[in-house]
Structure 1
Amino acid sequence: MPTICAVEWPDGLLPESDMWRRIRDEVDGIRPDIIVTNEMPFGAWLPKQADFDGDAARQWVNLHERALDALRDLAPAAVISSRPVLAGDRLANEAFALEGGRYEILHHKQLFPAEEGWEEEAWFAPAISGFATKKIGGVETGILLCTELMFNEKARHLGRSGAQLIAVPRAAGMNRFSWQTAGSMAAIVSGAYVVSSNRVGNAAGGPPMFGGGGFTIDPSGKVIGSTASDRPIITIEVDLAGVDTAKHEYPVYVDERHIREER
């Protein structure tokens, strides 16, 4: 059965740091098939205020571009992550996979918060639309980036598209309950495993404060594990046969025909 890791990595992480070397060594000791990182995992979090800063944005883009080699060092694991990329006069939050050294675009974040600390609507706009699945590490995978997990219809769509895993990189605050609840509902409506990773702390010492709490959830909605300060990486084995069974169980099998007819 494929093994998948969720993590909580600190705000301000740099690919040349001692912290990164410790992370790399820990992943090497586990040798998972897939690792899901937190959302845009390198450098300090930028979209704290609504004023878009083009120079800072370009520096963040360049840092994540440089960090791709560090993520490739986590091989043989396939890495699922996201990074800021330039898109017109703003950024796009691009989910991607690194597998066998090859970079593949998976998704651009479509849904954004707009509040103090998370002014992403002012900083980001997708350059690619849609929610689709792709096979990564032998597992049919869909991506929901942070806020997108709160929209059950997106998880259900991915499940009906064949997703066996929904990977959820996050940069979320301290309310772990809401995120785990959303993760459980995403698993229940999709019949897929949900694996989510989150930033933790704040390198700058001010708001927002990231809450950590990466989690792994099975297709029944049961939380299997959660990261913590003394357990920043956790692993789950994905039972693909069990996913196939879950696709035929309630409520995944329920037809949406009547909803379409009402529209």
Structure 2
Amino acid sequence: MKITVCELPDQRKSFDTAWGDLVDHVRAEQSDLVVLPDMPFSSWFASSDRFDREVWAAAVRSHDEWESRLRDLSPAIVMASRPVDFGNERYDEGFLWEEPLGMLSVHAKSFLPDAKGAREGSWYDSATAEFVPVEVRGLRVAMLIGSEMWAPRGYEAEHVDVLAIPRAGDIPALGDTMQRACSLAQHAHAFAVSSNRSGAFGGQAWIISPEGQLLGQTSADEPFLSMDVALHATKGEMRHFDVFAH
């Protein structure tokens, strides 16, 4: 399986250009799984602690409109998150998209920070804390969204192959975030793969091995990273991974 992670701009005009570049990269690499940042299809709105219904509605609408553009990345599986309304509640929902099945809800963010640049609790609700893997194309994948990396859970009991982590992080936290991801990968014995917004958010998408080793990361000059990973396992045996190229 070839996995692609990326860092994408927050500014919308720059995002449109970067999207075209990402599509070209994914097609050239023949990627099987693409992980995008947290709520990538709108500018980051949760830096304010004042909820604005019009801003929220615009973000929901933008993500709905961009859903059809996920076909640009087909036949790859796409994992990311999006803002959603659920009755009178609002959530940051993790999704998996695959053609021809379309969008599948796989997670909802439960651990919401209240910090400078991330006043998420003012914008959407905290979901029930769950960690439920999904099987797709013979792999077990699961998701944590951003700050959920710091919430304690029994990941190692779930036997996931890939842990996707869409982020909208900031520069001061990058070092701690990567160390935490390395620890999660090691405890879950899974690849931890994460994408982030670039610029003021710090970028640095990365792929981490099940042994907790950083295999590669993006930069402002190289905003996309693809790695070919093979999984060898039989029922009842410990999973075992090889990385062929990146």
TM-score by length of 1: 0.83
Maintained 8 Å contact 1:87/1:126 = no
Structure 1 residues 168, 190: CA separation in 2 closer, same or farther (over 3 Å shift)? Answer: same
Structure 1 residues 88, 52: CA separation in 2 closer, same or farther (over 3 Å shift)? Answer: farther
SS in 2 for 1:67: helix
The offset of 1:89, in angstroms, is 4.5
Which shows bigger deviation, 6-15 or 67-76? 6-15
SS in 1 for 2:232: helix
Maintained 8 Å contact 1:87/1:125 = no
| In the alignment, structure 1 residue 108 sits paired with structure 2 residue 108 | yes
Q: For 1:48-71, what per-residue CA distance to the aligned partner results, in whole angstroms no more than 9, with x for missing partners?
A: 111110111000000000011111
| In the alignment, structure 1 residue 245 sits paired with structure 2 residue 228 | no
Corresponding residue of 1:12: 11
SS in 1 for 2:180: helix
One-letter code aligned to 1:95: G
Find the aligned partners of 2:60 and 2:205 in 1 and give their Cα distance.
24
Find the aligned partners of 2:85 and 2:223 in 1 and give their Cα distance.
30
One-letter code aligned to 1:170: R
Structure showing greater radius of gyration is: 1
Find the aligned partners of 1:84 and 1:74 in 2 and give their Cα distance.
21
Percentage identity across aligned positions? 28
Corresponding residue of 1:216: 207
Find the aligned partners of 1:128 and 1:15 in 2 and give their Cα distance.
35
Higher strand proportion: 2
Find the aligned partners of 2:71 and 2:125 in 1 and give their Cα distance.
27
Find the aligned partners of 1:140 and 1:13 in 2 and give their Cα distance.
33
Partner of residue 236 from structure 1, selected from 227, 239, 242: 227
TM-score by length of 2: 0.89
Maintained 8 Å contact 1:14/1:42 = no
SS in 2 for 1:221: coil
Structure 1 residues 184, 129: CA separation in 2 closer, same or farther (over 3 Å shift)? Answer: closer
What 5-or-longer segments of structure 1 have no aligned partner? 202-208, 248-263
Q: For 1:185-205, what per-residue CA distance to the aligned partner results, in whole angstroms no more than 9, with x for missing partners?
A: 00111111100110112xxxx
Corresponding residue of 1:145: 145
Find the aligned partners of 1:137 and 1:182 in 2 and give their Cα distance.
28
Alignment of 1:114-193 (within 5 A): 114-126=114-126, 129-151=129-151, 153-154=152-153, 157-174=154-171, 175-193=173-191
Structure 1 residues 159, 72: CA separation in 2 closer, same or farther (over 3 Å shift)? Answer: farther
One-letter code aligned to 2:85: L
Maintained 8 Å contact 1:167/1:196 = yes
The offset of 1:162, in angstroms, is 1.9
Q: Cα RMSD over matched residues?
A: 2.1
What 5-or-longer segments of structure 2 have no aligned partner? 241-246
Find the aligned partners of 2:204 and 2:233 in 1 and give their Cα distance.
25
Maintained 8 Å contact 2:231/2:239 = no
Find the aligned partners of 1:168 and 1:55 in 2 and give their Cα distance.
28
Corresponding residue of 2:198: 200
Find the aligned partners of 2:92 and 2:16 in 1 and give their Cα distance.
24
The offset of 1:47, in angstroms, is 0.9
Maintained 8 Å contact 1:24/1:73 = yes
SS in 1 for 2:211: coil
Find the aligned partners of 2:15 and 2:218 in 1 and give their Cα distance.
24
Structure 1 residues 162, 241: CA separation in 2 closer, same or farther (over 3 Å shift)? Answer: same
Q: For 1:194-242, what per-residue CA distance to the aligned partner results, in whole angstroms no more than 9, with x for missing partners?
A: 00110112xxxxxxx2010011001100000001011111122333227
In the alignment of these two chains, the number of paired residues is: 236
SS in 2 for 1:60: helix
